[in-house]
Amino acid sequence: SFLRSAFFHPQSSLPPAMSLKDNATWKAVKPFMNGGLSGMGATCIIQPLDIVKVRLQLGATGGPFGVAAGIIKNDGFGALYTGLSAGLLRQATYTTARLGIHAKIVDYLKEANKGAPLPLVQKAGAGLAAGGLGAMFGSPADLSLIRMQADKTLPVNERRNYTGVVHALSDIVKKEGVSGLFTGAGTTSIRAMALNMGMLASNDQAKEMMKENNITGFPATLGASAIAGFFASFFSLPFDYVKTQLQKQKPLPDGTLPFKGFGDCCVKTMASGGPLKFYTGFPTYYVRIAPHAMFTLIILDQLNTTMKNAGL
């Protein structure tokens, strides 16, 4: 009878369990989760380089090592991790969104191309779209990170003295309104589009070229991520420089801001220092951006590989 068979063989009366890898919700969430975790892991490693980069862009002298030594001497070693909470929040929002969206766009394009390798222009387009959309999610955290890192460069009476990312975000809303959280968001999005176009398109292209030359596994991941780090730095630094200037500016005595917007900042920067002014701090920026891109992509590949091997 049915009851007897169910009692002695209960598994025969139940539908087969769906594996997690076939679960629609998990498949949708996984690229976003892995993207966020990889970015947060990379940030924990790279944070000291980021604060040195910001200080150099804001006028500090002495080179990367001199600036780092000065920070440690004046404020202690922990000061190199100023803004880590905001940095992690930024990765949890921005990188979760950009890498998740990029994975979804690439999957869609591959399906549309019937599995054929994507042309470089489509890879670039996927990077541009993912960067721009991701940046909108991460803009408030990015703004708070810049202001926390720049605070020590201001005169004592002008410092905001944020105690953490929550304090920074709440103070910005209190003094500037909710819209203040998106100060420089347009420039942030443009910078993110340039960075992700360079990083993600070159990474995918390099992997394909290495595979054609029988270079696979970790060597391919390492080589492709190194190439991706360079192009991410090269394409994004001019926009990063302008973004930093816009986000850290404070009202002048007459109540106006030094820069009216992206275009005004570009014109004034060009007038004051020429095109090379936009590449101020490039060695430090490269040392910060390239390893972050490399660690992000390496961690992402390892997460994807580990989950695949585990049947996830």
What is the model's pLDDT at position 3?
46
172-204 pLDDT tens trace: 898 888 888 887 777 778 888 999 999 999 999
Query: What per-residue confidence (pLDDT) applies to 196?
Result: 93
**Does the predicted TM-score (pTM) go above 0.95?**
no
How confident is the model at residue 160, as a pLDDT? Answer: 81
300 CB-near residues (< 8 Å, 6+ apart): 34, 35, 38, 99
The answer to whether 205 and 220 have CB atoms below 8 angstroms apart is no
Q: Which of 312, 93, 120, 280 is nearest to 209 (CA)?
A: 120
Q: What is the pLDDT of residue 193?
A: 93
- Average pLDDT (107-126) is 90
290-100-188-241 Cα dihedral, nearest 10 degrees: 0
Closest to 102 (Cα-Cα) out of 198, 21, 12: 198
Q: How far is CA 302 from CA 181, 183, 202, 221, 305, in A?
A: 34, 35, 19, 9, 5
According to the model, what pLDDT value does residue 6 have?
Answer: 45
Distance, in Å, from the CA atom of 23 to the CA atom of 207, rounded to the nearest integer, reads 29
- Residues 24-59: tens digit of each pLDDT: 888 889 999 999 999 999 998 888 887 887 788 777
Is the model's pLDDT at 267 over the cut of 80? Answer: yes
Q: Provide the 8-state DSSP code for 245.
A: H
Task: Read off the pLDDT of residues 229-264 as tens digits, 9 standing for 90 and up.
Answer: 999 999 989 888 887 888 777 788 888 888 888 889
Q: What is the mean pLDDT of residues 147-172?
A: 81
Apex 171 CA angle, 151 and 243, nearest 5:
50
The DSSP line for 180-203 is: GGGTTHHHHHHHHHHHHIIIIIHH
d(CA 66, CA 72): 10
Identify the residue with better confidence: 17 or 231.
231
